[in-house]
Structure 1
Amino acid sequence: MSQTQATPRRRQSKLAEQLALSIETLMAQGELRPGQALAERTLAERLDVSRSPIRQALKRLETKGAVKAREDGGYVVAHTARRPTLALLPPAEADDTEALYLQVADDRLSGKLPDKLSESDLMRRYNLTKTQLGMLLQRIVHEGWAERAPGHGWRFLPILTSPDTYDQGYRFRILVESAAILEPGFQIDVPALRQCLVEQQALIDGAVEWASPAQLFDANARLHETIASFSGNVFIIESLKRINRLRRLMEYKKNVDRNAAARRCREHKVLIELLLSDQREAAADFIRLRLRDAAREKSAR
């Protein structure tokens, strides 16, 4: 197969992967419930793509057991999904739109993009095909910094844009994340925490050297949000998710210090081990100090 033939197939495969993640997110949010029929047409309209990649995405989800085929055709939701985990892919398999994605993120952060844009504006500005635009928007929506505007076009959501607000976000996290661990209703979901441990160990074992800024952010934010979710306090959980959405692009803007990133992953492993051994007070102290040191380190860059 020639390179020109392989590239469209890789893009189609990547789009199906992103759509599968979006459908899983809808399941995790309760918008798609166990036993509910999944109509290709409805999903295609909801996610603004054709039915063909939706069909591929549903086949991927069937393989994972998230959906199951009906005897009369089509699929139904098999179970309530966890919010999906984005895989750590080596450079050869990484999304070939990464540079474009980071360019759009940088343009948004620097104020070059208005709060609202049409799809034709985006296609013209970045010289995109309809398929490329669909993949780009799926990722941006999945990561929580844009949404479809009522009526027409797309609307970017608020983000942190100044060093002062970025530092305030860290100070808020120092207060909230340590308190979450000490909440009376705190209860660990051991499989979920061990899944985070596997991901952090993969980074320690070498993935930190090639993981993209987005992958590093997702892996670390996922761990912190998972731990916050154990508190059972919906205000803590939602406030941390909102802070992470707001600070995402600021994190992309900063230069990645691979040595510092590896050290943080090792610290995350210590934190996980403290929680698994039920040393909650030590874990609360540890996360407070770790976040304080991370804030100082990143403010200096």
Structure 2
Amino acid sequence: METTPLPQKLAVQIGDLIRAGGAAAGTRLPERKLAEQLRVSRSPVRRALRILAGQGVVGATAGGGFVVLAPEAIPGVAGPPAAEDDAPYLRIAADRLDGLLPDRVTETALMRRYDLTRPRLGAILRRIAAEGWIERLPGHGWAFLPVLTSLQAYADSYRFRLVIEPAAILEPGFVLDRAAVAACRAEQQALVDGEIRRVSTAALFDLNSRFHEVVIACSGNTFFVDGLRRIDRLRRLIEYRQSLDRDRAVVRCREHVRLADLLLAGRRDEASAFMREHLASVGVEKILEKPESRPRP
């Protein structure tokens, strides 16, 4: 099949996104969500997914769409990112959150500041771009995109979620995506069973935000879905700093498992009430955390 440079570039970016999120085999890859994250139309995303399908990374489903088949088959990747690969990524995130990086940067300046080779920096920038907090400028340089930087805005984001997420479960058009919810439940159960001690802070954010995005997507309400995705992109960096210690975070993962069980059992009223309780308690817990008492990423 003939490909253009854009789908080839997107295939690399989607591979980076799969790797950064620690997506397991069977994880769905919605074209629309990928198109929004990568800021392109769905057509080149579909062609990029076909490229990855040819490499054995993803596979087409009988009902249309694609799922992750073998994340370890991503070219140049053998398993999840090592801890040392996350370190410069988290330093860039912390410096951006602290206002130590300008809105526009060059690769040369970043290579010098973080002592990185161009290929390694390129992989990090593709990961950040896929996550939605930086974009390449025409011709030269990169521009950071807006993120939440204050605790007040962070608290506001949780109050917004308290409004939309429990309501989304009770939407008239709610249709449970059993396969997606079951897959997220399996990811959360793995965290509860000990994986939470091994995943990076960034990967934990992706796993937990994916759970909530999968649930809200079942509502069929595009305003709810788009609202949560926007909030998740904006809160990513401050979430790294406000993240709970792993002993407390595992409790929240158990709550995700409980939420999934209620949904899979068709007990939507209980699931909605439990979602409200979950968000209210975790929001207070994180906002009361003192980030200065914990090490920076």
Q: TM-score, length-normalised on structure 2? A: 0.77
Q: What is residue 99 of structure 1 aligned with on the other side?
A: 87
Contact 2:16 2:127 in 1 (8 A): no
The Cα of 1:257 is off from its aligned counterpart by 0.9
Structure 1: gaps of 5 or more residues = 1-15, 44-56, 68-78
Distance in 2, Cα, partners of 1:85 & 1:197: 19
Q: What is residue 62 of structure 1 aligned with on the other side?
A: 55
Superimposed CA distance per residue, residues 76-101 of structure 1 (whole angstroms, 9 cap, x where no aligned partner): xxx633699989x9x99625321111
The Cα of 1:64 is off from its aligned counterpart by 3.7
Distance in 1, Cα, partners of 2:71 & 2:198: 15
Identity %: 44
Q: What is residue 192 of structure 2 aligned with on the other side?
A: 204
**Cα distance 1:92–1:154, how it changes in 2: closer, same or farther (>3 A)?**
closer
Q: What is residue 6 of structure 1 aligned with on the other side?
A: none
Matches within 5 A, 1:72-111: 80-81=65-66, 94=82, 96-111=84-99
The Cα of 1:299 is off from its aligned counterpart by 1.1
Q: What is residue 286 of structure 1 aligned with on the other side?
A: 274
Q: What is residue 3 of structure 2 aligned with on the other side?
A: none
Q: 1:232 aligns with which of 193, 206, 220?
A: 220
Q: What is residue 146 of structure 2 aligned with on the other side?
A: 158
Regions of 4+ moved over 6 Å: 23-27, 83-87
Matches within 5 A, 1:125-204: 125-204=113-192
Contact 2:135 2:143 in 1 (8 A): yes
**Cα distance 1:85–1:178, how it changes in 2: closer, same or farther (>3 A)?**
farther
Matches within 5 A, 1:20-39: 20-21=15-16, 28-29=34-35, 30-32=42-44, 36=47
Q: What is residue 123 of structure 1 aligned with on the other side?
A: 111
Contact 1:170 1:291 in 2 (8 A): yes
| Count of residues in Structure 1 that have an aligned counterpart in Structure 2 | 256
CA RMSD of aligned residues (A): 3.2
Contact 1:33 1:80 in 2 (8 A): no
**Cα distance 1:61–1:204, how it changes in 2: closer, same or farther (>3 A)?**
farther
Contact 1:20 1:61 in 2 (8 A): no
The Cα of 1:231 is off from its aligned counterpart by 0.7
The Cα of 1:63 is off from its aligned counterpart by 1.5
Contact 1:25 1:83 in 2 (8 A): no
**Cα distance 1:82–1:93, how it changes in 2: closer, same or farther (>3 A)?**
closer
Give the structure with higher Rg (CA): 1
The Cα of 1:118 is off from its aligned counterpart by 1.4
SS at match of 1:147: strand
The Cα of 1:153 is off from its aligned counterpart by 1.1
Q: What is residue 295 of structure 2 aligned with on the other side?
A: none
**Cα distance 1:84–1:133, how it changes in 2: closer, same or farther (>3 A)?**
farther
Q: TM-score, length-normalised on structure 1? A: 0.76
Distance in 1, Cα, partners of 2:82 & 2:152: 33
**Cα distance 1:150–1:240, how it changes in 2: closer, same or farther (>3 A)?**
same
**Cα distance 1:282–1:83, how it changes in 2: closer, same or farther (>3 A)?**
farther
Q: What is residue 4 of structure 1 aligned with on the other side?
A: none
